Amino acid sequence: MPTIAPETAALRLAGVVFYGGVIGGGTRQFCIKTEWMNV
């Protein structure tokens, strides 16, 4: 098993958090807009 450098692990974690926040935020805004339009 290859060892993962701390820098690589931190960078990967930051990327996951960043993309997760972008995708989650966009989905949340879309749901809010959809609910508002349905009201």
Q: What is the dihedral of CA 25, 29, 34, 39, to 10 degrees?
A: 130
Q: What per-residue confidence (pLDDT) applies to 39? A: 59
Q: How far is CA 2 from CA 5, 29, in A?
A: 9, 40
Q: What per-residue confidence (pLDDT) applies to 28? A: 81
Query: What global pTM score does this model have?
Result: 0.46
Q: What per-residue confidence (pLDDT) applies to 1? A: 54
pLDDT in tens, 1-39: 567 688 898 889 888 888 888 887 888 888 777 777 765
